[in-house]
């Protein structure tokens, strides 16, 4: 029961942060539009408008990273990358073990001109490539 209440409080706090972010984002968007219209109407210097919009936009972007995390890199990103590296190492080891097996080495020693299947013996070419030139 205590865990459920704690989970609820954490979820409620997270929802408030997301709601606050969207309020800040919408305020930034409307203010940016207003400043752009003001720039065109009053012929304000573009530097002032750009500094306000860009500076506030950087703040909004940093808040987005704080609320939602950096895209592709969550809390378990490092664990996922470690697991992926371990899988790669296992595949490389299995690959190396396969090529060290005696059966694979025996396959390399077989004569490639020797055909075991009757169908393949029929498909064997009985001409030289120089006959067609």
Question: Do residues 27 and 53 touch, judged by C-beta distance below 8 A?
Answer: no
Closest CA to 99 of 108, 111, 90: 108
Residue pLDDT, tens place only, 17-67:
999 999 999 999 999 999 888 888 888 778 888 898 999 999 999 999 888
Portion of the chain with pLDDT greater than 70, in percent: 74
Encoded tokens for 122? 């029929």
Residue pLDDT, tens place only, 71-81:
767 667 778 88
- pLDDT the model gives residue 100: 72
Looking at per-residue confidence, does 127 or 62 come out higher?
62
């Amino acid at each position: 029961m205590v865990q459920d209440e704690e989970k609820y409080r954490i979820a409620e706090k997270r929802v408030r942060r997301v709601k606050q972010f969207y309020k800040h984002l919408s305020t930034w968007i409307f203010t940016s539009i207003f400043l752009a219209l003001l720039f065109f109407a009053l012929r304000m210097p573009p530097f002032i408008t750009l500094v306000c919009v860009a500076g506030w936009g950087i703040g909004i972007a940093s808040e987005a990273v704080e609320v939602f995390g950096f895209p592709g890199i969550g809390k378990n990103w490092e664990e996922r990358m470690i697991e992926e590296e371990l899988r790669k190492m296992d595949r490389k080891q299995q690959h190396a073990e396969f090529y060290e097996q005696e059966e694979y080495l025996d396959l390399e020693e077989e004569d490639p001109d020797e055909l075991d299947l009757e169908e393949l013996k029929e498909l064997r070419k009985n001409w030289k490539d120089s006959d067609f030139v």
